[in-house]
């Protein structure tokens, strides 16, 4: 891991911050970690300007892995690696959330 600066983690360029819960209660840890590893690789491969954080629990311990995208405030349920690919294309790159997988929307700045 190691200590990094805000610049080194891509903070100044970030347009979004993604939080992914990897279980163990909302999904099997292996399932959550598979999505997490895919998410990290996909953001890097496609040069998506987003910060990412692996969350231990987002307090809705069912139907995971949960992905929350800020500042949009979009909550996605059951995010598999395959689903993340579509979320990346349509939401993170295209700007339109994948409505069929959205469970809640609450931008925190109103
Ligand atoms: S363990 Fe994922 S929301 Fe609680």
CA–CA separation, 87 vs 97, rounded Å?
7
- What domains appear along the chain, each with residue ranges and CATH number? 17-105 (3.40.30.10)
23 near 79, Cβ under 8 Å?
no
**Residue 12: band (very low, low, confident or very high) from pLDDT cuts 50, 70, 90:** very high
pLDDT top residue among 14 and 29: 14
Instruction: Give distance in angstroms: CA of 22 to centre of ligand 1.
Output: 7
Model-wide pTM > 0.75: yes
Return d(Cα 106, Cα 80) in angstroms, integer.
22
Residue entry with tokens 């690696």: 81
Q: What number does the ligand 1 atom closest to the CA of 65 have?
A: 2
User: Which is the closest atom of ligand 1 to the Cα of 32?
Assistant: 2
Contact 26, 63 (CB under 8 A): yes
Q: What is the mean pLDDT of the chain?
A: 96
Contact 92, 48 (CB under 8 A): yes
């Amino acid at each position: 891991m190691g200590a990094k600066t805000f610049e080194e983690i891509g903070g100044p360029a970030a347009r979004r911050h993604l939080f992914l819960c990897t279980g163990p209660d909302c999904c099997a840890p292996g399932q959550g970690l598979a999505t997490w590893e895919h998410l990290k690789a996909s953001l890097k491969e496609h040069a998506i300007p987003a910060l990412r954080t692996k969350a231990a629990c987002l307090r809705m311990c069912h139907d995971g892995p949960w992905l929350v995208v800020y500042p949009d405030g979009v909550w996605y349920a059951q995010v598999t690696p395959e689903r993340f690919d579509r979320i990346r294309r349509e939401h993170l790159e295209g700007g339109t959330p994948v409505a069929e997988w959205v469970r809640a929307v609450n931008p925190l700045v109103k």
